[in-house]
Amino acid sequence: MRWSLHMRRRALGDPASEGRRVWEWIQRVRPLHPSLDLWRPTADSPQEAEQSPPITQDYLLQEIHQTQIDWESESFGVAPAFSGQINQGSKLELYFNMPNPGDASIGLAISEALGAALDASEAFADTLMHTTASIFTPNVIGALTRDDIPITPTPPPYRYLPGWKMFFASDSPHYQRATQLATRTAPVANGAIFTFGTPDTYPTILN
């Protein structure tokens, strides 16, 4: 199955300082799976990606800085890097001051290889969610979502893609309802990760 991971948080500083937190996250997830070990710059062609050296923290911060200049806005997004095999990797996406001022988000469009690991091991899915929530506290909301699940016509009240595993901050108005619906709850950082059934049943539970 194809998966996506998203986590929105309250930024603790400017985009550069948030970029350092992203770099810390990359270092933390690298040992979790072979496809997360090598991170390359996003490139215009497979040949360019093949020739590019692995990203560094300096490269990541420069990409964030340059994208903010190019967008000429405090609100901007950037896809600076990917991990895993060329043309089959997991794409990193970062957003700043979106959708609200002071917000920052990380997204990972998960590769087939990494998705297969999630399919095979719920413990791995838990570790990936827990690591992400721990690094980016204070989080607002997050989700590990199957990409092949149709989006419901009526947006959920929490205004986020529903996921098999979701993070809600303890002060979220949706925290108590998530507690009632979840089949498993794991406190972490400033909230908890909620598991809703299985990768096949979570849309029914959340609907």
pTM of the predicted protein model = 0.94
DSSP structure string for 30-85? GGG-GGGS-EEE--SSHHHHHHSPPP-HHHHHHHHHHHHHHHTSSSEEEEEEEESS
Each residue's pLDDT expressed in tens, for the chain with a length of 207 residues: 789 999 999 999 999 999 999 999 999 999 999 999 999 999 989 899 889 999 999 999 999 999 999 999 999 999 999 999 999 999 999 999 999 999 999 999 999 999 999 999 999 999 999 999 999 999 999 999 998 877 666 767 777 889 999 999 999 999 999 999 999 999 999 999 999 999 999 999 988
Distance, in Å, from the CA atom of 136 to the CA atom of 128, rounded to the nearest integer, reads: 13
